Homo-oligomer: A and B are copies of this chain.
Amino acid sequence: MAGIRDVAREAHVGIGTVSRYLNGSGYVSEESRNRIETAIKTLDYQPNELARNLYRNRSGIIGVIVPDLEHPFFSKLSKYIEINLYERNYKTMICNTVGISNREKEYLKMLERNVVDGIIAAAHTLHSEEYLKINRPILAMDKDFNGQIPLVHSDHKKGGALAAEAVIKAGCRNVLQFTTSSKVTTPANQRHIVFEEICTKHGIRVRTVETNWNLFSHEHFRRYMQKEMVKYPDVDGIFSADIPAIACMNVLKQRGYKIPQDVKIIGYDGLDVIYMTDPPLTSVSQDIEKLAECCVDTIIRIIEGKEYESHQVIDVDFVQGKSI
C-alpha cells in the first residue's frame, strides 16, 4: 500500500504539497500538480480513510437501526436512506435489532466510539433513557422521546382518518383493528386512536387487539391470525398493517369468507405486496421515499450544525385496492 510519503518522494515534492493537492486546499504549482498526478497513477495511490478519519474526527458513516431488515417497510426505508446518504457523501451502516435491546444499545455506543457520526433510529425496543443520555446526533423515526430527540414520522392521524372513512363508506358495523403494544410511545399508534374515535362517532363498533409483534415473518402472522380470528366470527371489517392484514385475508378466505363481500379489509403502509394478493389490498400508504429523504436531510443538518425542524410529519395517501 503506497502512502502519501511515497507519492511525495516519487513526485519529488513534500508531503504537505501532496496533501494540499489531494484536498484542494492551498496552493500547488502547475509543475508540482503534474508530477503528483503521475506519481499517484504510477503508485496507484489511494488515501487511507482511516488516517483521515482520525484527524477529522469523523467517519462519514451514519448508523441506521431498524427492527428487521426483512420487513418490506424497513427494507424499503433502508434502501432509500442509503441512496440519499450516498448522494450526500455518507455511508450507511445497518443494524437489525431483531428485537434484541442489547443490540440496539451496542449500536448506540458506536456513536460515542466515533464509529458512526450519527444515528437514524427506527427501532425502539430499548429504554428511552439510553437514548437521552447520549449527547450526539440522533434522529428518531416513529418514536416520540417527549420532544427531546428530533422526530420524523408519517401523518398517522390522517392515516387513521382515511382508514375510518373507508370503513364508514363501505358500511362496516363491527370492525377489528390490530395494534402494536400501546406501551411503546410511537406516533404510529395514533392511527388506531383516531380510527376508533371516528368509527365510534359513526356508530361503528371497534374492538382492538393489542399485539406484541417482534417477529415479522408471514408464517408468524398467519399462525397468529389463525388463532385470533376464531374469536371474532362476526366482524365485517379489519384494519391493520399490510403484512398482518394479508395474513388475515388468507386466513379468512380459508375459512370461507369472501373478501370484500363478507369482510372488508384495509391495510396500512402501502407496501408492494398489496398488489400481489387477491383481491389486491386497499391500504393507507406511507411515503417511504420521502420519509427516508427527510431522515437523511435532518440527521446531516444535525451533524453539520445547521438548523433543523425537530418534528416533521410526512403526508400519507389512500391506495384503492379491492379489499374494501
Contacts and interface: CB of A to CB of B under 8 A. Distances in A.
A78 B78 CA distance: 11
Given A50-B59, A94-B78, A96-B79, A219 B275 contact: yes
A93 interface: yes
Contacts of A51: 54
Interface string A39-52: 00000001111110
Interface string A62-104: 0000001110100110110011001000011111101000010
Interface residues of A, number: 49
Nearest to A280: B250
Interface stretch (A106-114, A161-169, A176-184, A192-200): A106-114
Chain copies in the assembly?
2
Contacts of A114: 48-50
A222 interface: yes
Contacts of A291: none
Contacts of A250: 275-276, 278
A237 to B, nearest CB: 20
Nearest to A218: B272
Contact of A69 (B49, B79, B115, B278): B79
Contact of A93 (B72, B83, B93, B276): B93
Contact of A112 (B46, B75, B98, B112): B46
A209 interface: no
A246 interface: yes
A208 interface: no
